[in-house]
């Protein structure tokens, strides 16, 4: 979906239920920046197709917004096409991580015949680990040609590698899993210290002059809902810090 002149979101990419994953892209005069490559090779094809189609003559570049594989699983497609992938310097995943994700996917299959047939491998076909080959710094500005530029903001907490992409000129923020719109946040991969850092990152983005936020999961957040979602996330984090327990622990 088109959000503004140059900013797009791709929502609803399939993942382990009830999750969908988001991607998006920003189109400048010379370059198109894709934000996240999706969970698998197939999703990357879809993202690549949409992004390429808006301005086919543009050079494509990719940035990973965090290290979890639902955001970087499609990297191999872009790598095969000679496309440069940027990300936080601490993103370093390996094939063992992918094996764990594939096995988690099998656990989510309800039908016993499909589970036994290992249909998770259909979802992950051709997917392999490719880490970002170029790094981004906090505050770095990436020019996409013409007047279009984006800034990198480190918004750590969910993982130590989370960044956000701000398109100041169009009041858009791609924030990854800093906000999981409508969903309970995934706090189980971190500790109380990480959750405090996460709170600080939410405070940081609440100061920004933005009209629409593309979260890592869930629908676009706009207008008054921005404050509502940030408050909801902070309340859940606060509760987790007090109880020292993630809200999704059963």
Per DSSP bridges, beta strands 134-135 and 84-87 are parallel
Residue 106, CA distances (Å) to 45, 101, 237, 248, 249 in order: 23, 9, 29, 20, 20
Nearer to Zn ion, 144 or 213 (CB): 213
Does 101 participate in binding Zn ion (rule CB under 5 A)?
A: no
Q: Using the minimum distance from each CB to Zn ion, give the nearer residue, 28 or 218.
A: 218
Min dist. Cβ of residue 216 to Zn ion (A): 4
Q: Smallest distance, Å, CB 79 to Zn ion?
A: 20
CB-facing half-sphere around the CA of 156: CA atoms within 13 A: 15
Selected from 101, 120, 177, 229, the binder of Zn ion by CB under 5 A is 177
* 94 token code pair: 């390996």
When binding is defined by CB under 5 A, the residue of 36, 70, 120, 194 that contacts Zn ion is 70
**Least distance (Å) from Zn ion to the CB of residue 218?**
10
Residue whose CB is less far from Zn ion, 132 or 216: 216
Interaction site with Zn ion (CB under 5 A): 70, 177, 216
């Amino acid at each position: 979906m088109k959000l503004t002149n140059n900013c797009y979101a791709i929502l609803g990419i399939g993942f382990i239920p009830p999750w969908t994953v988001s991607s998006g892209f920003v189109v400048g005069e010379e370059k198109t920046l894709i934000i996240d490559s999706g969970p698998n090779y197939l999703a990357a094809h879809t993202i690549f197709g949409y992004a390429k189609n808006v301005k086919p003559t543009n050079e494509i570049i990719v940035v990973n917004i965090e290290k979890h594989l639902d955001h970087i699983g499609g990297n191999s497609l872009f790598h095969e096409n000679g496309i440069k992938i940027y990300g936080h310097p601490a993103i370093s995943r390996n094939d063992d991580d992918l094996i764990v994700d594939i096995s988690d996917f099998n656990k989510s299959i309800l039908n016993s015949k499909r589970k036994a047939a290992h249909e998770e491998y259909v979802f992950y076909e051709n997917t392999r680990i490719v880490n970002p080959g170029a790094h981004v710094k906090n505050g770095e500005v990436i020019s996409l040609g013409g007047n279009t530029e984006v800034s990198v903001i480190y918004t750590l907490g969910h993982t130590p590698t989370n960044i956000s992409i701000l398109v100041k000129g169009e009041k858009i923020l791609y924030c990854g899993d800093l906000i999981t719109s409508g969903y309970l946040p995934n706090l189980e991969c971190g500790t109380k210290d990480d959750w405090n850092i996460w709170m600080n990152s939410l405070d940081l983005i609440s100061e920004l002059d933005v009209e629409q936020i593309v979260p890592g999961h869930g629908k676009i957040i706009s207008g008054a809902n921005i404050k509502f979602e940030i408050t909801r996330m902070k309340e859940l984090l606060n509760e987790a810090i007090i109880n020292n327990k993630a809200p999704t622990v059963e």
